[in-house]
Amino acid sequence: MVRNPQNVTLSAAGVARGMTRLLPICLFVVPFGIAFGIAATEGGIGPLQATAMSGLVFTATAQFAALDFLNDPVAFFSLGLVALALSGRHLIMGAALAQWINRLPPGKRFLTLMFLSDANFADTQTLLQRGDTDLGPLLGGGLMLWITWVASTGIGAFGGDLLINTEAFGFGVVMLCFFAATAFGMVRSTPSLVLPVFVAIGVSAATLPYLPNGWNIILAALLGGGVAAQCHAE
């Protein structure tokens, strides 16, 4: 990781590169978007409304979880808490990217953060650790994910009764492999991260049965960061 990166840019070429880099991942987002579109319309939400929801919220986990709450009368407070837990990790990713992001002009900063998601964050980590200072790939990857997510929700919501078995497409497995390989690459280039990673793995797995969904990941990330800072101090 570069300290105090200079000349942070948001190039169009970088955006295009990010879109291409995440294309393989996006193929596996499609069945999930379709499944969300179907589940939402079956839950009594109009197809246009379901598609708009994907465009505005753009957080698959929070959207699927929200479907359980979307019946009148809506428990808005509980809905908000669940959404906060499931998108809370964006706050952590934003903080981790701050030393690059905050060097962009406010408009570009806002635009890039709007499309922050797990996959483009993970992909960009590999590039930033290499010393790149172009945030184009972060925005491009996010745009690609957003377009795919909205379009596939629309297909599911308007296309109706297609039978989709998301497990058969192995979306979960592909995402897991992508994240695992990315984390492995980060640890290899910075061996001092071995301990924080094991702490994070242990904490998230051990607290999963006790913490509401999403909070275990936030806790694991905070403790992993704490261990990394502590190792540095010693």
Partner 1 sequence: MLSDGSYIIAVSVLALIALGTRLSGAFLMAWVTPTPRIEKFLQGMSVSVIAALVASALVTADLKSFAATGSAIFIAALSRSVIWAMIAGMIVAAAYPQIF
Q: Restricting to residues 103-132, name those near partner 1 by CB under 8 A.
A: 109-110, 113-114, 116, 118, 121-123, 125-126
Closest CA to 92 of 231, 214, 234: 214
Q: Residue 143 Cβ, how far from partner 1 at the closest point, in Å?
A: 14
Q: Is the peptide bond before 5 cis (omega within 30 degrees of 0)?
A: no
Name the amino acid, one letter, at 51. T
Could you give the C-alpha distances from 97 to 8, 120, 149, 200, in angstroms and in order?
A: 12, 12, 23, 19
Contacting range for partner 1; rule: CB under 8 A; set: 9-17, 130-138, 153-161, 185-193: 185-193
When asked if residue 143 is in the footprint of partner 1 (CB under 8 A), the reply is: no
- Six token digits for residue 115: 């499309």
Q: Residue 209 Cβ, how far from partner 1 at the closest point, in Å?
A: 8
Contacting range for partner 1; rule: CB under 8 A; set: 6-14, 29-37, 158-166, 213-221: 213-221
Q: Contact with partner 1 (CB under 8 A): which of 26, 29, 66, 145?
A: 66
Q: Residue 191 Cβ, how far from partner 1 at the closest point, in Å?
A: 12
Q: How many helices (H) and strands (E) does the chain have?
A: 13, 0
User: Rounded distance, CA 32 to CA 30, Å?
Assistant: 5
When asked if residue 60 is in the footprint of partner 1 (CB under 8 A), the reply is: no
Q: Restricting to residues 157-176, name those near partner 1 by CB under 8 A.
A: 170, 172-174, 176
When asked if residue 212 is in the footprint of partner 1 (CB under 8 A), the reply is: no
**Site map for partner 1, 5-44, x if CB under 8 A?**
-------------------x------------------xx
